[in-house]
């Protein structure tokens, strides 16, 4: 397991994040969102560190993230490769399905299926 200490905004204190349970990390409205594998309505944490910083800290401990752009708004998404359930095409679009719960499990991305495949670790 990979744990990192992060800071929650608005004086809420620290968060010790289990990086292995992080599915997706992205910046939204000046804040960084870490979506996790937790179920229910509390699946995400907001932290003050940038998405790039969180990803770099977790990557330095051996985790692999793919960097893609969401098709709807070109927002950069960092997806934990260990949490990718599958990548496929639907009506000409590339879809990345993750282990996240509910409506936040699947993302349509700008990259091609081949481009995403090259980002994923293989043995």
pLDDT tens per residue, range 105-121: 899 999 999 999 999 99
Q: Which tokens is 99 given?
A: 């282990």
Tokens of 52: 């790039």
Instruction: Report pLDDT digits (tens) over 76-91.
Output: 999 999 999 999 999 9
Per-residue pLDDT tens digits for 28-43: 988 999 999 887 776 8
Asked if 91 and 84 touch (Cβ cutoff 8 Å), the reply is no
Place of tokens 């481009």: 115
Strand partners, 20: none
Measured at the CA of 35, the angle between CA 30 and CA 41, to 5 degrees, comes to 105
Domains and CATH numbers, the chain: 3-119 (2.40.50.1020)
pTM of the model: 0.92
């Amino acid at each position: 397991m990979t744990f990192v200490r992060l800071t929650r905004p608005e004086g809420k204190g620290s968060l010790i994040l289990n990086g292995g349970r992080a599915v997706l990390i992205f910046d939204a409205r000046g804040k960084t969102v870490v979506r996790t594998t937790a179920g229910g309505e509390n699946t995400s944490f907001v932290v003050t560190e940038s998405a790039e910083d969180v990803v770099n800290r977790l990557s330095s401990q051996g985790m692999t993230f793919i960097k893609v752009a969401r098709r709807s708004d070109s927002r950069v998404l960092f997806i934990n490769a260990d949490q990718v359930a599958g990548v496929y095409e639907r009506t000409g679009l590339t879809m990345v399905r993750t282990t996240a719960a509910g409506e936040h499990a699947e993302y349509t991305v700008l990259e091609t299926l081949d481009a995403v495949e090259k980002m994923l670790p293989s043995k």
